[in-house]
Each structure stands twice: as structure tokens, then as C-alpha cells.
Chain A
Amino acid sequence: MEYTITSIAPIFLFPFTAFVLNAFFGRKLPREGDWLSVGAIFMSFVWACRIFSDFIFGKFSTDYYVHKVFNWIDLSFGEQIFKIDLGIYIDNMTAIMLLMVTGAATLIHLFSTWYMKGDEGGYGRFFIYLSLFTSAMLGLVLADNLLLLFIFWEIMGFCSYSLIGYYNKKERAGYASIKAFMTTRVGDVFLLLGILAIWSVVGNVNYVDIYSAISQGLFEGKVVLGISLATFAAFCVFMGTIGKSAQFPLQVWLPDAMMGPTPCSALIHAATMVAAGVYLSLRMYPLMQLGDITHFIAYIGAITAFGAATIALVQTDLKAVLAFSTISQLGYMVIGIGVGSYNAAFMHLITHAVFKACLFLSAGSVIHAVHTQEMPQMGGLRKKLPITFMCMMLCTLAIAGIPFFSGFVSKDRILGDALYWGLFSGQSKVHFLVPFLGFAGAFLTAFYMFRMMFLTFFGTPRDQHVYDHCHKETFSFNRNLPLIILATFTLGIFFSGSLTGQGIAKVFPKGGQEWFKILVEAPQVKKFESYTKEGFGFSDTRAEKSWEKAHYHHQSGYAGINPENEEGIHHAHVEGAIASIIIAFSGVFLAFLLYIRRTISPDKFVNPLRCWYEALRRKYYFDELYIDIFIKKVLLKFNEFLAFVDMGIYDRFAIDGWEKVNRVLFKASKWFDDVVVDSIAVDGTGTSINIFNLILRIVQSGKIQLYFFILLFVLAGYVWTLDIA
């Protein structure tokens, strides 16, 4: 297929057109136009498959990319030059992302036609937002520059806001939606600053130009606000990731975002939008290295991965467990970026998107059947919901890191790299904390995910009423097919053939069994060094370039660390894998003991650690800190104070006070007039005083126009006497 903007644009335009048509005519269409949304995203999926096959199986070399631009804003006139170009950038990573996004979105759209059915007055609205969201996400993936990315990034934030507030009769939905939008916008504002900083150096923000500027050393020596501009920009861009991917300390919005309908949680708050934050940091990875903030990133990821996992331990709401596990898994991706495990971080993004989307859809299937989200009211549901149970089980195995499943493949590689980074890379051993927290989080993940499964599907029904009202699941196309397809792709063989021999290798001629590892590599800025800016037009000149594939080497992204130590890396990976497997199984086993065999009561842990338990239940008091203390006690009080000062003091005294001053002056002059002038110069100047009195009376009676004319003449007279040289 010919790669031009017009041939690629449909992938974005299909869902966007569906959005426009449904927004205007959705109410008049049969089924409120859901088929339009589903059909459109399926068409995008077909397009994505074509791109994927071209890039992954096809004729291109592995580091081939397509970059096309068109002019959006041109302010140039004469000597004043300023342009903004937008465009598309497609490489292997884009191709994989496109397939994941369109695939997951198609299945989630399909599932929504079942889940949202019968929703009074909102069914059409749901699909309108879903289509807009999907087109924005696809636009973001296709974008060739940070500004366009930012545009779609915010539009996704808007859709997220609207869908979280979907059940608008609930007050809580209102709070949750505003919380989500505002928290992510904190990150967005930083991201905008980052974009501005990069623009000030590169004069542009497209990826290719940024890579080129980095390799040419344009960032060197630039300082902003007393710190290196590269660090400032990298930090600001990473703050965008923190906001969107719900990393510590901006993780607070994601659990509340579960107020939205479950399919939207699956699409937006699990598979795509929250992953977009990680995608941004991956794209800007060379900048992160240049700005030397990779340690910061690794620690943020580790704190998030571990912290969120601990909170998930005590949640009783099915979706809340999944929300915290999403935060935690995103934390692993961020660890991956921090420790230089670029490829594995991206791989985890994809594998996580698949199994987490499936987990959420399964949860939706359960919730729809039992009409509650509280796990204490469930139990024994595997007999009633066998298909959902099977799918959810496969995904749980994947997320828990059980061998042969996708989550194991990707998470283990991140942890292995983290282990190498923390212990063997020659830096201070203190950084062992990062892999330690990672492994500890992995143990907790296995435990809480199986706790969730056991509480929901195993044992005896805890609430007989709920159980009895749950209909037995029979296969239905739009409910179960998405689950089954997604669950299938939780198998590890799709992502890495190393555990299954050569079978799958033949499918992927380029890279064989480790196709994913080979096709995705950190941007090598060196390649972009020789690249010079050329003229832009509607059809770009530097469209399709490709280099000889660099000799495949173990991913060498370790910031400032010798990448040649392959043996050390391999060593770390073997140890890491063994540790992962032991940890995962022991987590599962502990959950088994607590919730199936019940040999140990969970209360044994809870009772002595009551205050910790409470802290976890309250999510480490972040909501209290941000909302009750910062917003209510500080921000709102400050606002009220300022508004009071503005109207009650400044306006009342400093502005309206002039009226009082004038009155006093007039009274004084009237007194002067009545007492002094009248009594002293009794009748002598009667006429002139009468005129003066008349003026005063006019002024005091409030005829301001006249007053101003007098003032005007006085001022004009004064200016007249000015000495103008």
C-alpha cells in the first residue's frame, strides 16, 4: 500500500466520521447508530492490519519508517517566519500500537452493544463518545509530533471526562469525572511546558527533528530556570506520563474513573488512554536519557507498581481491584523505561492492554449478571458464568506472571532488566530497591488477582439472593466473543516464541521467534544525525527513509551504563525469571490458602496491622491530602480570601473610596464657599460665587458627564501649558 497522508488518514477518519454522523443523526438511526461506530472501528482495524502486515511481515526493513507532513498553520510573512506542520509517523512501534488499539477497540465496541443495551437515553451518547475517543487515540498513535499528540491527548481526556460522568444523575460521577480531568490536566500542563521547551530549541516538535537535534547536541548548554533545558523538558514530558498513566503522585484519579460504564473502563482506563502516557515516554526516550532522569523514572515506576499493588490487596470492589492493578502494571512499564528496558516496557504495554481489557470486560460481564460490584456479595459464580470465568482465569494467569502467558513474558523481561540495572550494572547497589519493589509487587499481584478470582468465582455463594438472580451464561455473540478472542491473545506464544520452540518463528520471517524484541528498539538518535531539515510541502520530501538494519544487539538502552555486558544481562535475566516464577506461584498459593482452603484467616493479617489496613483501605490518604487539605483548606480558602479582597477591600475602598474623597473635598469647598467666601467677601463677588455654587450643585447632584467635561477642560488646559520641547 502506498503510504501517503490520504491513504493513512482513513484509519483515523472512520471512527471520527462515525462520531460526527452519530452526533448529528444518531437518534434517528436504527439502534441509535451503534452499528456505525462498530463498523467504523472495524474498518480501522482492517486498515491497521494492512499496515501491520506491511511493517511486520512485509517488504520493509525493520527500521523503516514513514513520515509525512502537511502544513497546518503558516504565519510567515516577509521576514517573520513561523510554521506549524502536522503529520504522521509510522514505524514498527506505530504499526503494533495501531493493531492493538483498533483490535481492542473493535472488541470493546462489540461488547458494549451487549453491555450498554437498554440503557435509557444514553446508549447513543455512549457510542458517540466512544467513537470520538477511538479516533483521538488513533490520531495520537499516528501523530508525528508532540503538539498533535498533545491535541489528541487532551481530546481523549475530554472523552474520558465525559464517559466517567456518563451516569450524570449520580453526584459521585460528577466528582469522579472532574477529578480525573483535573488530575490528568496537572500532567498535561507540564507536558505543554515540555513541548514549549523543546520547541524553543528545535523550532519544531516532531519526533524526527527532536531525535536529530539530540544527536546534533542542540540541547547542550541550554539552561532554563537555572536547570538544564534537557532535564527540564524531559521532566515536564514525563510529568505528562505521570498524569495520564496514573503514576505516583497523580494516581488518585484512576480508581474514581471506575464510575464510568465498564466497557469504557476497559478501553480508556486500561487498554489505551492510560497506556498513551507510557507511549509518550517511549517516544521521548532519547530525551529522557539526555535529561538524565531515568533514575527518577525508575523510582516513580517502582513506587507506583508496589504501592498500588498493596492497595489492591484490601479492595472489595471488583473494578477497584482492577483499577489498582492497572496502576501497578503501568508502574512496571515505567520501571521498564527507567531501567532502559525499552522493548520490554512496550511489550508489556501491549500484553497488558490485551489481558486488562479482557479482565475489565469479564468484570463487566459479571457485574451485569449480578448487579453488584462488591466481591463479598459474590462467590461461586464459576458455575453460573463458565465462559466469563474461563476467560478471566486466563487473563489472571497472565497478569500474575505464570509462565507461558503473555504477562510473564513481558513482566519478567522488565524485572530481569531491572535486576541487572539495580545489581550488576556497576552503579550503587542502593538501586536494588527498584527491582526489589518490582518483585515484591509481582508477588502481591499474583496474590490479589487470585484473591479476586477466588472471592468471585470460587467457594460458596455469600449472598444467595444475588447468586439466585444471576442468569446462567449462555454463549452470546457480542458478550462472549470479545472475551474469548482477547483471552486467546494472553498466551505467551504470540509475543515470544522462546518458550515454545520454533513453531511460531516461521510466521515471522524477520526476527523469528523473538520477533517483538527485534522489531521494536529504542530510537537510535545517531541514525537521525545526518538528517537535515528540508522544505515542507503538502507532500513531504523526506517521506520514506530506511537504513540498513543495525546489527541486532541486546537492547542497549541502559542510561550511562555499559551495554556490552551481555553475559551480565543474561545472568540477571535467568535469575530474574526463576525469581519471578517462584514469586508468582507463592502468591497464588498464599491466596489459595487464605481464600480456598481457609487454613489461615485473612483477619490474622489484618488485626495486628489495623492501622496499615486502614491506610490501605483509604489509599494511603492521598484523597484526604489532596482534596480535604490542599483543595478545600488551602486552595478554596485562598480563592475566597482573594475574592473577598478583590470586591470587599480593593474595590470597596481603593476604587469606590474615591467617591468618599470627592465628597469630602466638595464639602470642604462648599464650607469654604459658604463660610469663608460668603462671610468675608460678602457681596463683592456675588455673581461669580453663584456660578461656582451652580457648578458644585450640578456635580453633587450626580451628573457625572458634566463633571467629566469640567475635568476634561482642566486637563486640556493643563496639557496646553505643558512645555513640549
Chain B
Amino acid sequence: MSGLLNWILWLPVIGMIAILFVPKDKKDLIRTFGVVTTSITFLLTLVLYAKFNTSIGGMQPEFLIKVPWIEQFNIFYSLGVDGISLPMVVLTGLLFLICTVSSWSVDKQVKSYYVLLLMLQSSVFGVFFALDFFLFYVYWEVMLLPMFFLIGIWGGENREYAAIKFFLYTFFGSIIMLVGIIALYYATGKGVDSFNILALQGGHFTKEVVTLFGTEFSFEKLFFWAMFLGFAIKVPVFPFHTWLPHAHVQAPTAVSVILAGVLLKMGTYGFLRIAFPIFPMASVEYSTVIAVLGCISVLYGAFCAMAQSDVKKLVAYSSVSHMGFVMMGMAAMTVQGMNGAVLQMFNHGTSTAMMFLMIGVIYERSHHRWIVKPDGSKGYGGLYSHMPKYSIIFIIGMFASLGLPGLSGFISEALIFLGIFNRFTTITVFAVLGLLLGAAYLLWMFKRMFFGEASAEVKSYPDMSIREVGYMIPLCVAVIVFGIYPSPILNVMKASVAQLLDLLGKFS
């Protein structure tokens, strides 16, 4: 079983190479290859889930892989999985499968599209598996490349601006992170473990001091902020969020789904895997800042979302809002909060993927995304009576997104609030407003798009096809099942989360 992670990581690459040999006018064959590859990958992630030992905190010894890579610098090809990364891995497998199916309707340069998509999947898995800091960074950067082209080639009318902005912004963050990685390399004396994420963990740098511009800084605090910046841009936390609306609006549907569903989680995952355990003292000390920024993101994202007339931009801002909850949950550093945060990462992945896919479905029919057109007329209206299947699935996704109990968003948000109330009462009082605003912008959007008489244009849209319903069903099931019974996810994560909390507890 020890090769399972390798298989999951490299299978998309194999599929990608296979597609490279297919002539580019055999579009259906290319698409089939893509779907088959992601299906097998998803099955393998489920195998990983099934084999996962829930009673062990931290990395699962059964799956560890460690091979020397660049020996002069003590860089290893080192992979592992624990309870925090496993939900993300399964989510990645699921969303990429759904995206390859939903991208069946993409007709422009199909071959390059699927090649890039599979390359993206591999690098995302790489980020979640990597236990070597250098390897982590490589995957973190490699992932930008397919994203850049996917947005820049298959995107909307303003795609180049959005692609460059996305690239520069995240690259800026990762450069700062790289500084931190290099600093850690030197701080550990360039030894065998200087890139080993697991060995770096545990608060070894609390007493280190670094001199910069003639002033002494605490090593831990300084480089916590370096990591913070790198990850916060990815999440994105206010005030580093402005790349997100551009990227989402311009990206093709599947890329939006991946972006919101998986890539944003890499930011919060970075906090949990790297920033918190390597710099626990600074994390505890600055948790208030994280919570406040999270709370601001929740409210700011919600307020901005309410003013949008482009439905995709609205959902993009709602992602800012929902990821703010994850930040708050992490900052709480309590069992409920931290587990809630990881669960929210998963749940936001499924619910926001639903929202973006549903927007993609209607976009393919109408070729616009206006709730209210710039000239003030209604963009849609009457979808409810005209497209019943579409409406029902949309309602499920929307209510999961606004945190209706019984659907997945609620339980993670409730856990987060239970986690932070004791520690940050004032912040909680403000953040619950996010629930109110979240309902407001989503329902108002729904009202404007779905109620009323259908116009002649809307009446020409066909309801969802079997393929479209088919790829929505797994997400509907996930949203409902984990809303009622979240334990299948919570059980795998709780041991690893407890281990992280034990570590943080020593410094609070």
C-alpha cells in the first residue's frame, strides 16, 4: 500500500501523457481519457480513505514515502497523508472528476485543456501530500502554470488581465514564503532535516533571533508573517483578496470550481500544516489577528457580494466570506473550532463547487451572467417555473452555502462558532452577522433570477441535461449526507487535529 500516494500523485500525469499522444481532433477520445483518469484517481483517493487508520494522529506511517531527490541540499521526495490532508485529497479527487465531466462542453483546444487540467490535479495532490518543504514549494509554484493558462486561454473577455493578476499576486505571496523556507534552511544549519516539514514542527525556533536592518527580531515572529502572507493571499484573507473576483469571473467554469473548491483550501491547509506547527508560539500570539482578519473577511466579503450584479462575482465574494469562517475557526485553537475549520474547508469545497457549476450551466445557455444587466433590465427571471430541475439543485447548493441546518455548511459553521465564542466573544458577535448577510445576498440573488414570469429568452433555455444532473448528484449527496451525519469526515481528522492542538496548547 505504500505506493498508493505515488499512484494518486502520478496517475494524472500518466493520463496527461496519454492524452498528448491522442490526435487533437479526436475530441471525445481526449475527454474520455480525461474522465477515465480522474475517475480512477478518485477511486484511489477513496481507497486511501478506506485504508486510513483513524486512531493515529499525525502522518500515517503506512503511507509514508521518502526518497532522496537533491541530495546536496538535503531535499527529499517525501510524501505523507494525515487527517487534515485526507479530506482535501478526497475533495480534490471528487472535484476534478466532476470538472472533467462538466468540461465536456468545452470545445476550444480540448487537448491542451485536458492536459493542463490533469497537470493541475497532480500539482494539487502534490501540495497536499508533500512533506518536504522544497517539494511543497515546487508543487505550489507548478500549480500556478496550468492555472495561468487555463484562465488566460479559456477565460472570459478580460482573461489576460485576470490571469496575470492571479499569477503575480500569488507569486508575490509565494516569494515571501520562499524567503521563509530559505531562512528555515539556514536556521536549521542546512542539516538532513532542514526541509523536512515534520522535523521542523514543534516550535524549535522560539528563541532564535534574526538581525535585520540592524534591529533584532524574533525569528519565529518574523517568518511567521512571511508564511502568513504567502498563505493569506491564497485563502484569500482581507486585504489580499482582490485577485479572486477577477480570477473567478474570467475563469472557465471548471477552473472556477477548482479554484474555489480546492486551491483556496491550500492557503488554510498551509496554515495548518506549516505556519501553525512550525511557528506555534507566534501562531498563538497572533491568533487574534487571524481571527480579526477572518471576521473582517466574513463581513467584507458578504457586504461586497450583496452589491454585485454579476452572479459569478457574487459567489466569488461569498468565497471570501466563507473562507473567513475557516480562518476564525483555526484562530480559535480549540477542538471544536479547529475541526470545524477543516470541516468547513471540505464543506465549502462542495457547496461552492455546486454554485459555480450551476452558474456554468446557466452561462452555457444564456452566455451572460448578469443578475441585473448593466442597462438595468433583468438578466434572468422566471427560472423557477421554467427550469424545475435546475431550480431544485440550485436551491440545495444555495442553502448549503448559506448554512441551513441539515445541509453541510451549518455544522461546520456551528462548530467554528462554538469554538471561538469563549475566546473571541466580541468577534463572534460580529461574525454571526455573516450568517445573516450570507442569507441576504444569496436569497436576493435567487429572488431576482428565479421568481417572476419567464421571458421569451429564458423560455428558450432547455432544462438540465442528464450529464449535467449526473455530475451534480455526487455533490448534492455530499452536501446532504455530511449535513446530517458529518462523522465520516470528522472521524478521520480529529486525531490529527488533536495532535496539532496539543502542540499549540503548549504555547498558549
Contacts and interface: CB of A to CB of B under 8 A. Distances in A.
Contacts of A643: 303-304, 307-308
B436 A185 contact: yes
B304 A646 contact: yes
Interface centre among B304, B385, B410 (most CB of A within 10 A): B304
B10 interface: no
Contact of A155 (B243, B406, B490): B406
Interface string A187-214: 0010011001101100000000000000
B306 interface: yes
Interface residues of A, dominant DSSP: helix
B219 A724 contact: yes
Interface in A220-277: 224-225
Given A178-B447, A719-B182, A724 B210 contact: yes
A218 interface: no
Nearest to B160: A702
B61 interface: no
Contact of A225 (B186, B425, B452, B498): B425
Contacts of A286: none
B336 interface: yes
A192 B339 CA distance: 19
B444 A642 contact: no
B418 interface: yes
A609 interface: no
Nearest to B304: A643
Nearest to B187: A724
Interface string B485-508: 011001000110111011000000
Contacts of B39: none
B245 interface: yes
B22 interface: no
Interface stretch (A108-116, A163-171, A539-547, A668-676): A163-171
A192 B399 CA distance: 17
Interface in A141-168: 147, 150-155, 158, 161-162, 165, 168
A627 interface: no
Contacts of B499: 78
A642 B494 CA distance: 39
Interface string A625-654: 000000000011011101110110011000
Q: Contact residue range for chain B? A: 35 or more
B29 interface: no
A80 interface: yes
A57 B422 CA distance: 45
Interface in B148-206: 164-165, 167-169, 171, 175, 178-179, 182-183, 186-187
Contacts of A170: 451-452
B307 A640 contact: yes
A534 B187 CA distance: 51
A639 B307 contact: yes
Q: Contact residue range for chain A? A: 35 or more
A13 B290 CA distance: 43
Interface in B427-460: 428-429, 432-433, 435-436, 439-440, 443-444, 446-447, 450-453
Contact of B418 (A199, A640, A651): A199
B208 interface: yes
A73 B406 contact: no
Contacts of A169: 382, 384-385, 451-453
B335 A724 contact: no
B424 to A, nearest CB: 11
B212 interface: yes
B114 interface: no
B417 A192 contact: yes
Contacts of A725: 208-211, 219
A161 B450 CA distance: 14
B109 interface: no
Interface stretch (A94-102, A304-312, A464-472, A708-716): A708-716
A549 B211 CA distance: 75
A724 B435 CA distance: 46
Interface in B399-432: 399, 404-406, 410-411, 414-415, 417-418, 421-422, 425-426, 428-429, 432
B436 A186 contact: yes
Contacts of B418: 196, 199
Contacts of B490: 73-75
Given A77-B57, A77-B495, A168-B451, A189 B404 contact: no
A47 interface: no
B239 interface: yes
Given A75-B490, A174-B451, A225-B425, A723 B211 contact: yes
A73 B167 CA distance: 40
B57 A715 contact: no
A173 B451 contact: yes
A177 B446 CA distance: 11
19 contacts: A74-B487, A75-B336, A78-B495, A79-B502, A154-B404, A154-B406, A178-B443, A185-B439, A193-B432, A196-B428, A200-B422, A639-B306, A655-B243, A656-B165, A708-B171, A722-B212, A723-B210, A724-B208, A725-B219
Given A650-B242, A719-B183, 11 more contacts: A73-B486, A77-B494, A154-B406, A168-B385, A169-B382, A642-B300, A642-B304, A720-B182, A722-B211, A724-B219, A725-B211
Q: Which 6 A-B pairs have the closest CB atoms?
A: A174-B451, A643-B307, A151-B405, A77-B498, A639-B307, A651-B242
